[in-house]
């Protein structure tokens, strides 16, 4: 049965499929556009996201947005979500049980959003999304995996880049690969000039 986006959001807000629902302040569903050609998926909301009810709005999210802006992404180009929609206490890693409980919601979200490219942010998101526990991010990042009609790319989580700023160029390169593929597929317009990687660090406020 097809449901509308608003019905889906209400379904998320009323979800009590796992214990995370008991400790959340807000259900964190998405940021960006619906539909959208490119979907970014992280592991789960943090404290700032739980407060605001929006994904990737803390310092890591601001870094991601900084890189997306520099690469010429508009709001209409992307949809940002997480594997789980409620914050795990103390920002711990979501469990497989929690991810499984949230999986039907994420599947519905993907069906409604209709992305052509899905970017998995970080090893945890990759593992929970694909079930592959053995892969190393250093070996799989920046490469597309074709599955169920989607192009899926794993890359570093921006929170990792905040702790290891010398790796920023790798996340930048991966976003550049995604953008170029989107242009190739007719999903985005090409840039007039080569973008420069932002070197500033997002504020902690």
Q: Cβ of 173: how many Cβ atoms within 10 Å?
A: 14
pLDDT value of position 110: 98
CB 94 within 8 A of CB 100: no
- In terms of DSSP H, where are the helices of 58-167? 59-70, 96-113, 123-130, 137-140, 158-163
pLDDT over threshold 60, residue 205: no
CB 128 within 8 A of CB 117: no
Q: Tens digits of per-residue pLDDT, 142-198?
A: 999 999 999 999 999 999 999 999 999 999 999 999 999 999 999 999 999 999 999
Tokens of 58: 């803390």
Fold classification of 5-184 is Uracil-DNA Glycosylase, subunit E (3.40.470)
Taking phi over 0 as left and psi of -120 to 50 as alpha, with beta for the rest, 50 belongs to alpha
Mean pLDDT over each residue of the chain, to the nearest integer: 96
Tokens of 35: 């539909």
CB 58 within 8 A of CB 47: yes
CB 56 within 8 A of CB 32: no
CB 85 within 8 A of CB 102: yes
């Amino acid at each position: 049965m097809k449901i509308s986006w608003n019905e889906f959001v209400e379904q998320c807000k009323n979800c009590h499929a796992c214990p995370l629902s008991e400790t959340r302040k807000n259900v964190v569903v998405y940021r960006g556009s619906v539909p959208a050609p490119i979907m970014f998926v992280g592991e789960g909301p943090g404290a700032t996201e739980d407060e605001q009810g929006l994904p990737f709005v803390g310092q890591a999210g601001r870094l991601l947005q900084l890189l997306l802006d520099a690469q010429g992404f508009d709001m209409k180009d992307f949809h940002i979500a997480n594997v789980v929609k409620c914050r795990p206490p103390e920002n711990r890693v979501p469990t497989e049980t929690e991810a499984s409980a949230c999986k039907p919601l994420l599947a519905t979200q993907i069906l409604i959003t209709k992305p052509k490219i899905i970017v998995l942010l970080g090893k945890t998101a990759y593992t929970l999304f694909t079930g592959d526990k053995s892969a190393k991010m250093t070996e799989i990042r920046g490469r597309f995996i074709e599955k169920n009609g989607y192009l899926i790319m794993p890359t570093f989580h921006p929170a990792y880049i905040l702790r290891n700023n010398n790796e920023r160029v790798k996340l930048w390169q991966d976003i550049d690969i995604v953008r170029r593929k989107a242009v190739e597929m007719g999903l985005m317009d090409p840039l007039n000039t080569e973008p420069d990687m932002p070197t500033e660090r997002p504020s902690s406020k």
